[in-house]
Chain A
Amino acid sequence: MRYLPHTPEDITQMLEATGARSLEDFFAVIPPECRRERPMVLPEALTEWELDAHIDRFAGRMAAGPDAKVFLGAGSYEHFIPAAVGFVTSRSEFVTSYTPYQPEMSQGTLQAVFEYQSLAARLLGMEVANASMYDGASALAEALLMAARVTRRSAVALSRAVHPLYRRVVRTYLEPTGIQVREVPFRPDGATDRSAIGRTDDLAAVAVQSPNFFGCIEDLQAFSDAAHGAGALSIAAFSEPLAFGILKNPGRLGADIACGEGQSLGIPRSFGGPGLGMFASKMQYVRSMPGRLVGETLDLEGRRGYVLTLATREQHIRREKATSNICTNNSLCALTAAAYMASLGGTGMRELAQLNLDRAEYLKAQLRAAGVSLPFSAPTFNEFVAAFPAGFEETYRRLLARKIVAGLPLEPYYPELAGRYLLCVTETLSKADMDTLVREVQS
C-alpha cells in the first residue's frame, strides 16, 4: 500500500528494538471480549485508477456543472471562484498543517487567519471577528448561547424569516439549555414583524437575518433599537455576505453580534459543506465569544508575529466552563474567504454585488411581465419569492428533467406558502439563462 512505507526488514528491526515478536503482540493488552469476532467486511481495495472511475459514477449522477441551471440559493450560492484563489488555498502548507499551536512554525496560517478576521470584521462592520465556526446555522446557535451568557437571561426572539434550517439547528442547540425560543412572524411584505416581538423584559437577544430567507432586506437598525431598548443583544444573521458589498452592513445598523454563512466568499458549494461559520461582535463581548482568535504580538527580537490568543475562553483550558466546545473549526475555508475578498477588493465586491442585484431585478421584471406574481414587496438582494400560476408543479418537474431547477418550493418549510418558490440568481446565471427560464415558465 503506497501510504505505508514499512518494508518487512523495517518491521523486523523495529520489532526487535521493542522486544515484541510480532505486530499482534502489541495488542495483547486488548482483552478477548473487546476484540472483533470477525474481520471487517469492506469493499475490496481499489487502485488509484479504479477509484477515479468509482467516484466518477457518483459525480455523474448529480445536476451540477455547466449543463445544470440551478436557480437555488437558500443559504448556498454559486459564485465564480477565481483560479488563483483555488490555487493558493490548495497549497500543502495550508492544507496539511494542524491548528497553529506552535506559532513559530505556523506563521503562515496565523497571519492568514488574522487577515481573515480583519477582512471579515471590515465587511460586517464589526469590531472583532473570530477565526471561524462550522457553518452559518451553528454560528447563529452559538451567538444565541453567547447572548444568554452575556445578559444572564433565558429567552430569545428569533425571526421566522431566518433560514428555516438555521432555526432547526438553533432548536437543537438550545433545547437542553432551557433557553426559550420565541419566533417572530413576518409581515405580508416578507420582512419580520417588529411589532410582534412580544414580551421583551426577559430577552437575551433579538435575532433577525438580513437579507432574510426570502431574500428580503430587513430594517436591522429598528431591530437593534428594539433589542437595546429591552436590554438584549442585537444579533444579525446572514447567509449571503456578498450583500454587504452594496448594502449597509450589520455593524452600521447596531448589531452586537453578526453571524452567518461565508460559503459565498470563494468556497465551493460542495453539497452543503464544508462552509464557513462567520462570527463577529463588539469588542466589549470578546471574552464571551466562542471559537478561536488570532492576535498580533512580537517575537523575542521585536518582530511582528501572530499567535492564538484569549485561550482562557476555550475548552482545552477551561474545560466545562469554556465559552464553547468548538476546537477544530473551518480554518482553511476562512483562509479561502480572505483570499477571495482580497481578489475582489472593495471595488470588485461592490461591482459584483451590484451585478447580483441587477440580475435578480431583471429576472423579477421578466417574471412579472410573464404573469408571475411576486408576493413580497420588501426590497431584495439576489433572491426573491415568486408565486407561480396553478399547475406550475408540472412545469417544475418538466424542467428538472432538463437539469433546470426553477427555485426552491417553500411549502415544506412554510406550509402557508404553498405554490411559492424561492429563486436565486448570481453572476453565474446569464441573461440568456434567465430568458430561457421565463420562456419555459410561460409555455
Chain B
Amino acid sequence: MTNSLGTTGLVLEEPLLWERGRRGRSGFSLPRRDVPRCEVPKELAGATPDLPELSEVDMVRHYIRLSQWNFSVDAGMYPLGSCTMKYNPKTNERQCSRPGLASAHPLLPEELCQGALELIAALECCLAEITGLDAVSLQPGAGAHGELAGMLIFHAYHRHRGKPRSKIIVPDTAHGTNPASAALCGYTAVPVSSNADGILSPETVAAAMDEETAGIMVTNPNTIGLFEENIKAIADIVHAKGGLVYGDGANMNAVLGMVDMGRIGVDVLHLNLHKTFSTPHGGGGPGAGPVCVRKHLAPFLPVPRVVVRDGVFRWSEDFPLSIGKLQAFWGNMGVLIRAYSYILSLGADNLKRASQLAVLNANYIKAQLKGTFHLAYDRPCMHECVFSDKRQQAHKVSTLDIAKRLMDYGFHPPTIYFPLVVPGAIMIEPTETESKETIDLFIDAMKAIAAEARDNPEVLHQAPTRCKRRRLDETAAARKPCLRG
C-alpha cells in the first residue's frame, strides 16, 4: 500500500514527468501547416529532443499534484524574516496579463509601445517619491541584480573622479548578497560589527573608512529588524572621505512614508518589488530590483532610460557615463506592472499604513513571545524580530527542530540561522497582511512548541511528520549530487 496513489489522503503521490510520459502522446495542438516542408541540411540536423510525451490531462494532473505539496502565502502565514511574504493581490495578476502588455515585443518602435513607456516612467516617478531619491532605473531583475547595479555605479563614479577605490564596508548584519555583489565589482569587503544594541556605531565606521574605501552598504532597517539610528552620522563620515552610501532597501516595507532615504544620506538604494511592493515570489523569482539614486549619480544609471519630449515617450541612450545594460531588455515588465498596480491600489496613506501595521504585527509577536523564546535584542523593532534557541538548547532542541515542528502546526517556518550575528536565529516577519487571529494562532503554536521542547523534545526531533516528506538528507544530496533525470 505504501506506494499506491492515495495513501496520504488528498495529497497524492506523483512520479517525475518522464516516468509518466509515453511515446506517442501529446499535449499540444500543432498549428496548421500552410507552407511546404523543407529539408534541414544533414550536417545541421539533430535528433528529436529527449523530452517526455504526455497528454494534456497528464500534464495538468502532474502539476496540480506538485502544487499541492507546496506551502504558499495564499494558503497561510509565511513569516520568513527579511523575505516579506505579504499577500500578493490578485488584481495585479490581471493587470500584467493584459494582452497589450503581456504579448508586447520589447523592440517595438517607440510609437507602437507608448503605453509601456509611459507606465515605466510613471512607476519610476512613484518609486522616486516613495524613497526620497531623485532618479530610478527599473532594469535590474532582482534584489541582488539591483545591488550589482549599485556597486557598478559606485565603481563608475569613483573611476570618473579619477580615483578608483578597492574596498567597501559591509556590516556583519548584511545579506550575503551584499559582499557577493561588491566582489563582482572587484571590491574587497571590509566587515564591521554592529554594537551591543544591534546597530552600527559611527565610531566603528569611522575607524574603517578611508580614502581607499568606495563606501558602505547598509541595510536599513537592518536584518535584526532594527532601525540604524546613527545612519545620518555614518553617512556624513563616509561622505567626508569621498565615499558613497549604499542602502539595501530589502526592508523598505517597514518605513514607507516615514523615512526619506535621500535626507539620511543614502546615495544609491535598491528596492525589492517582490517584497515591499507585493509582487509574488514565484517559488524563487522572477522579482525586480529597481535601483534609485540621488541626482549626482543619475548619469551613471543603466541605459536606456525613458525620457519624455513633447508628450511622446522615448528611449534615450544619451548618458555617456552610464554603467551600461544589465539585462538584454528593459527589466521584468510583468513584475513592474504588478508593483505599479499595488502602489495605485494603496495610495500614499495606505502605503504608510501598511508599514505601520507591519511594525505593529512584529512588535506584537515580540511582546507575546519574549517570555518564551530568547530575544536577541530587546528593543523596539521594525517589521521583524529575531529570537533564538538559547533557552531550548537545554532540552537539546535547536532552531531547526523548532522550525520543522512549526510545519506540523500549519505554518511556514521563519527564516532561521540568519542574521549570522545571532547564533541559532529565528527571524520572524509577519507582514501587515496577517490578521490578529492568524498571528495569535502562530503565537500559540510557538508557545506549544516551546512546551513540547521541554516535555517531549523527541516530537521536535522527529518533525515534521505531517508534510509530504519527512526531513530530507541534504548532506547526501550535496555529497553525491543527482541534479537531473
Q: Give the segment of A41-49, A153-161, A227-235, A369-377 that binds chain B.
A: A41-49
Kindly list chain A residues whose C-beta atoms are within 8 Å of the C-beta of B69.
106-108, 111
Kindly list chain A residues whose C-beta atoms are within 8 Å of the C-beta of B96.
270
Q: Give the segment of A194-202, A354-362, A384-392 that binds chain B.
A: A354-362
Given known contacts A5-B434, A33-B264, A63-B113, is B478 in contact with A46 (CB within 8 Å)? no
Kindly list chain A residues whose C-beta atoms are within 8 Å of the C-beta of B285.
99, 132, 274, 328-333
In the complex, A129 Cα to B111 Cα: how many Å? 39
Q: Of residues 291 to 338 in B, which have CB atoms within 8 Å of A's CB atoms?
A: 302, 323-335, 337
Q: Would you call B142 an interface residue if the criterion is a C-beta within 8 Å of the partner chain's C-beta atoms?
A: yes
Specify the chain A residue showing the minimal Cβ separation from B232: A33
Q: Would you call A134 an interface residue if the criterion is a C-beta within 8 Å of the partner chain's C-beta atoms?
A: yes
Kindly list chain B residues whose C-beta atoms are within 8 Å of the C-beta of A240.
none
Q: How many residues of A contact B (CB 8 A)?
A: 205
The answer on a CB contact under 8 Å between A118 and B18 is yes
Q: Would you call B4 an interface residue if the criterion is a C-beta within 8 Å of the partner chain's C-beta atoms?
A: no
Given known contacts A1-B353, A29-B380, A271-B106, is B363 in contact with A18 (CB within 8 Å)? yes
Q: Give the segment of B50-58, B237-245, B388-396 that binds chain A.
A: B50-58
Given known contacts A65-B100, A319-B179, is B107 in contact with A92 (CB within 8 Å)? no
Specify the chain A residue showing the minimal Cβ separation from B61: A88
Report which of A6, A87, A122, A246 forms a contact with B51, defined as CB distance below 8 A: A122
Report which of A14, A31, A249 forms a contact with B360, defined as CB distance below 8 A: A14
Q: Give the segment of B184-192, B202-210, B450-458 that binds chain A.
A: B184-192
The answer on a CB contact under 8 Å between A102 and B413 is yes
Q: Would you call A415 an interface residue if the criterion is a C-beta within 8 Å of the partner chain's C-beta atoms?
A: no
Given known contacts A54-B344, A299-B470, is B326 in contact with A138 (CB within 8 Å)? yes
Q: Would you call A348 an interface residue if the criterion is a C-beta within 8 Å of the partner chain's C-beta atoms?
A: yes
In the complex, A216 Cα to B75 Cα: how many Å? 48
In the complex, A104 Cα to B364 Cα: how many Å? 28
Q: Would you call A56 an interface residue if the criterion is a C-beta within 8 Å of the partner chain's C-beta atoms?
A: yes
Report which of A107, A129, A309, A357 forms a contact with B40, defined as CB distance below 8 A: A357
Q: Would you call A256 an interface residue if the criterion is a C-beta within 8 Å of the partner chain's C-beta atoms?
A: no
Report which of B46, B72, B471 forms a contact with A92, defined as CB distance below 8 A: B72
Q: Would you call B196 an interface residue if the criterion is a C-beta within 8 Å of the partner chain's C-beta atoms?
A: no
Q: Of residues 310 to 332 in A, which have CB atoms within 8 Å of B's CB atoms?
A: 310-312, 314-322, 324-332
The answer on a CB contact under 8 Å between A62 and B104 is yes
The smallest C-beta distance from A253 to any residue of chain B, in angstroms, reads 9
Q: What are the interface flags for B244-281 relative to A under an 8 Å C-beta threshold, 1 for contact and 0 otherwise?
A: 00000000000111111001100000001010001011
In the complex, A314 Cα to B382 Cα: how many Å? 28
The answer on a CB contact under 8 Å between B28 and A348 is yes
Q: Of residues 64 to 113 in B, which have CB atoms within 8 Å of A's CB atoms?
A: 64, 66-75, 78, 80, 83, 85-89, 91, 93-96, 98-109, 111-113
In the complex, A177 Cα to B24 Cα: how many Å? 50
Specify the chain B residue showing the minimal Cβ separation from A428: B31
Q: Would you call A82 an interface residue if the criterion is a C-beta within 8 Å of the partner chain's C-beta atoms?
A: yes
Q: What are the interface flags for A1-36 relative to B under an 8 Å C-beta threshold, 1 for contact and 0 otherwise?
A: 101111000110111011110011111111101111
Q: Would you call A203 an interface residue if the criterion is a C-beta within 8 Å of the partner chain's C-beta atoms?
A: no
Q: Would you call B133 an interface residue if the criterion is a C-beta within 8 Å of the partner chain's C-beta atoms?
A: no
The smallest C-beta distance from B130 to any residue of chain A, in angstroms, reads 6
Report which of A245, A346, A400 forms a contact with B109, defined as CB distance below 8 A: A400
The answer on a CB contact under 8 Å between A104 and B467 is yes
The answer on a CB contact under 8 Å between A169 and B325 is yes
The answer on a CB contact under 8 Å between B333 and A134 is no
In the complex, A370 Cα to B459 Cα: how many Å? 78
The smallest C-beta distance from B386 to any residue of chain A, in angstroms, reads 16
The smallest C-beta distance from A407 to any residue of chain B, in angstroms, reads 10
The answer on a CB contact under 8 Å between B104 and A64 is yes
Kindly list chain B residues whose C-beta atoms are within 8 Å of the C-beta of A59.
98-101, 115
The smallest C-beta distance from A37 to any residue of chain B, in angstroms, reads 7
The answer on a CB contact under 8 Å between A431 and B476 is no
The answer on a CB contact under 8 Å between B34 and A40 is no
The answer on a CB contact under 8 Å between B115 and A61 is yes
Q: Would you call B215 an interface residue if the criterion is a C-beta within 8 Å of the partner chain's C-beta atoms?
A: no
The answer on a CB contact under 8 Å between B484 and A34 is no
In the complex, A169 Cα to B181 Cα: how many Å? 16
The answer on a CB contact under 8 Å between B346 and A270 is no
Given known contacts A64-B101, A348-B26, is B280 in contact with A96 (CB within 8 Å)? yes
The smallest C-beta distance from B98 to any residue of chain A, in angstroms, reads 4
Kindly list chain A residues whose C-beta atoms are within 8 Å of the C-beta of B331.
272-273
Kindly list chain A residues whose C-beta atoms are within 8 Å of the C-beta of B147.
325
Kindly list chain A residues whose C-beta atoms are within 8 Å of the C-beta of B283.
94-95, 97-100, 106, 108-109, 112-113, 331-332, 335
B28, B75, B144, B231: residue with the most chain A Cβ atoms closer than 10 Å: B28
The answer on a CB contact under 8 Å between B473 and A118 is no
The answer on a CB contact under 8 Å between A326 and B64 is no
The answer on a CB contact under 8 Å between B44 and A217 is yes
In the complex, A165 Cα to B69 Cα: how many Å? 39
Q: Of residues 137 to 170 in B, which have CB atoms within 8 Å of A's CB atoms?
A: 141-145, 147-148, 152, 155
Kindly list chain B residues whose C-beta atoms are within 8 Å of the C-beta of A129.
483-484
Kindly list chain A residues whose C-beta atoms are within 8 Å of the C-beta of B184.
145, 173, 176-177, 324-325
Q: Would you call B378 an interface residue if the criterion is a C-beta within 8 Å of the partner chain's C-beta atoms?
A: no
Specify the chain A residue showing the minimal Cβ separation from B147: A325
Kindly list chain B residues whose C-beta atoms are within 8 Å of the C-beta of A248.
44-46
Kindly list chain A residues whose C-beta atoms are within 8 Å of the C-beta of B144.
315, 325-328
A26, A118, A314: residue with the most chain B Cβ atoms closer than 10 Å: A26
Kindly list chain B residues whose C-beta atoms are within 8 Å of the C-beta of A268.
102-103, 334
Given known contacts A52-B94, A295-B482, A319-B180, is B103 in contact with A135 (CB within 8 Å)? no
The answer on a CB contact under 8 Å between A320 and B179 is yes
Report which of A88, A92, A328, A357 forms a contact with B284, defined as CB distance below 8 A: A328
The answer on a CB contact under 8 Å between B95 and A51 is yes
Q: Would you call B341 an interface residue if the criterion is a C-beta within 8 Å of the partner chain's C-beta atoms?
A: yes
Q: Would you call A419 an interface residue if the criterion is a C-beta within 8 Å of the partner chain's C-beta atoms?
A: no
Q: What are the interface flags for B350-370 relative to A under an 8 Å C-beta threshold, 1 for contact and 0 otherwise?
A: 111110110111011011100
Specify the chain A residue showing the minimal Cβ separation from B112: A63
In the complex, A399 Cα to B70 Cα: how many Å? 48
The smallest C-beta distance from B39 to any residue of chain A, in angstroms, reads 10
Q: Of residues 1 to 58 in B, which have CB atoms within 8 Å of A's CB atoms?
A: 14, 16-18, 21, 23-31, 33-38, 40-41, 44-46, 48-54, 56
Specify the chain A residue showing the minimal Cβ separation from B439: A14
Kindly list chain B residues whose C-beta atoms are within 8 Å of the C-beta of A4.
350, 353-354, 357, 432-433
Kindly list chain A residues whose C-beta atoms are within 8 Å of the C-beta of B119.
58
Q: Of residues 251 to 271 in A, which have CB atoms within 8 Å of B's CB atoms?
A: 252, 261, 268-271
Q: Would you call B132 an interface residue if the criterion is a C-beta within 8 Å of the partner chain's C-beta atoms?
A: yes
The answer on a CB contact under 8 Å between A88 and B59 is yes
Q: Would you call A182 an interface residue if the criterion is a C-beta within 8 Å of the partner chain's C-beta atoms?
A: no
The answer on a CB contact under 8 Å between B470 and A301 is yes
The smallest C-beta distance from A125 to any residue of chain B, in angstroms, reads 8
Specify the chain A residue showing the minimal Cβ separation from B381: A26
CB pairs A–B below 8 angstroms (23 shown): A1-B345, A3-B278, A27-B359, A40-B256, A42-B343, A54-B344, A84-B56, A84-B59, A88-B63, A97-B70, A98-B83, A105-B71, A138-B326, A246-B45, A274-B333, A274-B334, A293-B483, A295-B481, A300-B471, A328-B284, A342-B21, A357-B40, A403-B112
The 8 closest A-B pairs by CB, nearest first: A272-B329, A45-B347, A272-B106, A332-B282, A59-B100, A345-B53, A331-B284, A274-B286
- A-B contacts besides A88-B67, A99-B285, 20 pairs, CB < 8 Å: A31-B229, A43-B126, A46-B347, A62-B100, A62-B104, A70-B105, A76-B105, A93-B70, A96-B74, A98-B85, A119-B17, A274-B285, A299-B469, A307-B474, A327-B143, A328-B281, A329-B142, A347-B26, A355-B31, A400-B112
